[in-house]
Structure 1
């Protein structure tokens, strides 16, 4: 059994724990939160043996094999390094860090320590996303001509909400835009250039961001994300003889292959009715740890860094700077 320590006791940590419980190869052993009472309540809810009021106690637990870092973005660097320094494998919630420089530090530290590290980019491991990439590689849509993807939530402006809070890593790009960007990168690779436009919230966080990725002078990817504006959250993969549509880009619930001759093929969701969709991510961590891998070939470090570099550049174009960047104090 792979024994998990959960660092952070928020909503996403609970969803991942639900899906860990569905795996025959994993169990939640310990939980840590800033508040010991909250940690104990969370541990009891998810069947963990121990709840800690200090993150250092969790990473020092000899019965924890891998630490899932489920805190907010500005804390990922510090908390991941804490676990790595204790010799623990880490699964770090996306984005792996606020920026590529911090992410490189974390991933380099993991490799130097000889421990596994992976960004928790569940979309890359989703079976429908992987099937879409397989279809494109097989030529099922002819020549790949472009990708269009969107992710908009429609949250009313509230300066205290995490997605609008600049000090807590708020903004559309890192929370939402990372999904369209990851899909486009998976299919098209790194663009030659990027044109970014958008709108900032009064807090200085990016409310809406649009990226146009250009390859050999041709715009091939149109990627949009917004905190304040709701969207169908669809993706389209466009080819010369067919196209693929995905419903719910971050966790696809349906996929259809549309041929130019009018025929369509629907692909059912293999994860329907089974948890929240984190199962493939959990299974990949289990596989990598069992095989003593330091990184997942499905979520390689180099690609995690390249995508974050693209998001760094997009934020810079919009003028978004987090308090811990550019000489600021690291989050703690």
Structure 2
């Protein structure tokens, strides 16, 4: 079976980590996710919001007023002297061009998931970040959650032996609606990029890149993927089963099985998880690590910037690109193609 590498070591910040200048954030986009992220940023010491850019000036100004920043256009954010990192939270098709604009102005970027529509676009973004020498990270906040990090660490240390399988789902009920972004093929709609990236990013640090991918699913009338199930196979004999759908609810429990035990991350593993149940050595125990939601990814961005890193060891761009490569393959199997590709 498969035994994964140890989870990445992330040193603790020194006690005076926030003693210097704060990390100054600019926003591209002012929707409901921006509001959640803004609340997280302002709850973390050493971080503040200075700029908000949106297509509608009134929306940008409203969010900026609430959190003490200045509203304006996208260009105002890119060129501002008081912005260290740009948080991009627009819809999927715009992520690449907006990240490139921010990085060309010397800004670090945190880009909402999915980083881009495809692996090819993600590679372009990563190459641009490397050329500019700036930090870039996908906002896959699942990977920064304390309980997820602890489970990856325990698995890497052999707590449940060599891995046999991982099972993870993420499903919600959304009636097919051609006017909804979730089903709009022109706007990056579909279950895979909205939901499926979460189980994929849970499996990736545990088992890595699959050697084979089997896909089944159904499409909405708009051509966007509506139901998707994948089985990832590994030459070791290990496998992962991942599913996502807008057709109905699912519990969101992740199950990790090994030769000598198992671990479950209790529902919902992709929504501020705090509890894991471990069966090992013939005994069952529960571990609890509190979650502060998006704040953990805010702290990770700050830690990386202060350390002079251009990538996060928790959410490296190589993992993001790898996941998108699998998503590309799955979409190809289902016949889903975005006009921007």
TM range (shorter): over 0.9
Aligned residue in 2 for 1:198: 217
The partner residue of 2:331 within 312, 315, 322 is: 315
User: Structure 1 runs of 4+ off > 6 angstroms?
Assistant: none
- Say whether residues 1:20 and 2:41 are aligned partners: yes
> Please, what TM-score do these two structures have when normalized by structure 2?
0.91
Distance in structure 1 (CA, Å) of the matches to 2:233 and 2:201: 15
The partner residue of 2:55 within 34, 42, 57 is: 34
Aligned residue in 2 for 1:184: 203
Query: Retained in 1: the 8 A contact 2:159–2:280?
Result: no
Aligned residue in 2 for 1:119: 138
1:68-113 per-position Cα deviation (integer Å, ceiling 9, x unaligned): 0010110001110110111100001111000011111111111101
Cα RMSD (Å): 1.2
Aligned residue in 1 for 2:296: 280
Distance in structure 2 (CA, Å) of the matches to 1:157 and 1:182: 26
- Say whether residues 1:226 and 2:226 are aligned partners: no
Query: Retained in 2: the 8 A contact 1:74–1:168?
Result: yes
> Please, what TM-score do these two structures have when normalized by structure 1?
0.93
Aligned residues between the structures: 318
- Say whether residues 1:2 and 2:18 are aligned partners: no
1:106-155 per-position Cα deviation (integer Å, ceiling 9, x unaligned): 11111101111111111111111111111111111122111000000111
Distance in structure 2 (CA, Å) of the matches to 1:16 and 1:5: 11
- What is the 5 A alignment of 1:152-167? 152-167=171-186
- Say whether residues 1:95 and 2:144 are aligned partners: no
| Unmatched tracts of structure 1, length 5 or more | 326-332
Aligned residue in 1 for 2:64: 43
Question: How far is 1:269 from its partner?
Answer: 3.3
Distance in structure 2 (CA, Å) of the matches to 1:44 and 1:269: 34
Question: How far is 1:299 from its partner?
Answer: 1.3
Query: Retained in 2: the 8 A contact 1:212–1:219?
Result: no
Distance in structure 1 (CA, Å) of the matches to 2:206 and 2:238: 14
The partner residue of 1:250 within 270, 273, 282 is: 270
- Say whether residues 1:270 and 2:270 are aligned partners: no
For the structure 1 residues 219 and 159, does the alpha-carbon distance in structure 2 shift closer, same or farther, using more than 3 Å as the test? farther
Query: Retained in 1: the 8 A contact 2:138–2:320?
Result: yes
Partner of 1:218, secondary structure, is coil
Question: How far is 1:216 from its partner?
Answer: 1.4
Q: Which sits farther off after the overlay, 248-257 or 306-315? A: 248-257
Distance in structure 2 (CA, Å) of the matches to 1:260 and 1:135: 13
Partner of 1:29, secondary structure, is strand
Distance in structure 2 (CA, Å) of the matches to 1:128 and 1:294: 25
Distance in structure 1 (CA, Å) of the matches to 2:175 and 2:251: 17
Distance in structure 2 (CA, Å) of the matches to 1:169 and 1:117: 21
Distance in structure 2 (CA, Å) of the matches to 1:165 and 1:94: 17
Aligned residue in 1 for 2:152: 133
